[in-house]
Amino acid sequence: MTAQESSAGTTAAPAYELDRIDRAILAELERNGRMSNSELAPRVGAAESPCHKRMRALVASGAIRGFHAEVDPAAVGLQLEALIAIRLHAHARGDLRRFQAYLEQLPATRHVYFLAGDQDFLVHVAVRDAAAMRELVADTISIREEVADTNTSLIFDHASRRY
C-alpha cells in the first residue's frame, strides 16, 4: 500500500485492492462513522482484531480520508447555499493553484472543485442570506482581476450518495 506520484507531482490514490470485507467496512462507516469496532466487526463478518487492522489499513491507504461530523449549515445560521461556477481569463490560468487556495480560504466555502470544460472552478458555498450571497459573488469573487465570469445557482435541496 504505497502512494504513487502522478506526472503533476501530486500523490495519487494508493494502490490497494479492496475485497468484500473492506467494501463492507467502508459502507458501514459511511452510514455511521461513530460505530465502534465491536459493532462494526459482526456487521462485516470479521473478528474484532482483523476488522480493526483492516480499518487502520484503509485509513493508511487513503481509502478512508478521515472521520468527521456532517453539520447542517442552517443549524449554524447559514440559510442559503449555492454553487458558483467560475471561469478565469486566459491570462490567469497559469496560476490556478493560487486562485484555488484563495477560494478555499473564503469563510463561505464548503467545497472547491477544479474542473475541465468551459468553467475552471465550481464552488459550493453557504451564507446567512441573499445579501451575503450577493456580497460574496459581486463584491468578493467577481471583482478579482483573474475572474472572467461567474454563474451562481442556488441549492434548494440535496442528497448524498453513499458508495
pLDDT means per 10 residues, the chain with 163 residues, are 37 70 94 93 96 95 89 93 97 91 97 96 98 98 97 92 64
- Residue 71, C-beta contacts closer than 8 angstroms, at least 6 positions apart: none
Which residue bears the cell 478565469?
88
- Find how far residue 119's CA is from the centre of its chain: 18
How many other CB atoms are there within 10 angstroms of residue 58's CB atom? 19
- Residue 133, C-beta contacts closer than 8 angstroms, at least 6 positions apart: 80, 82, 125, 127, 152, 154
pLDDT at position 14: 52
pLDDT at position 162: 64
Q: Where are the alpha helices (DSSP H) in 18-163?
A: 20-31, 37-44, 48-61, 96-105, 130-134
pLDDT at position 68: 83
Give, in order, the Cα–Cα distances in Å from 130 to each of 49, 54, 111, 120: 51, 46, 19, 24
Closest CA to 152 of 138, 144, 106: 138
pLDDT at position 3: 37
pTM of the full structure = 0.75
Closest CA to 18 of 45, 48, 57: 57
pLDDT at position 163: 59
Could you give the domains of the chain? Answer: 1-69 (1.10.10.10), 73-155 (3.30.70.920)
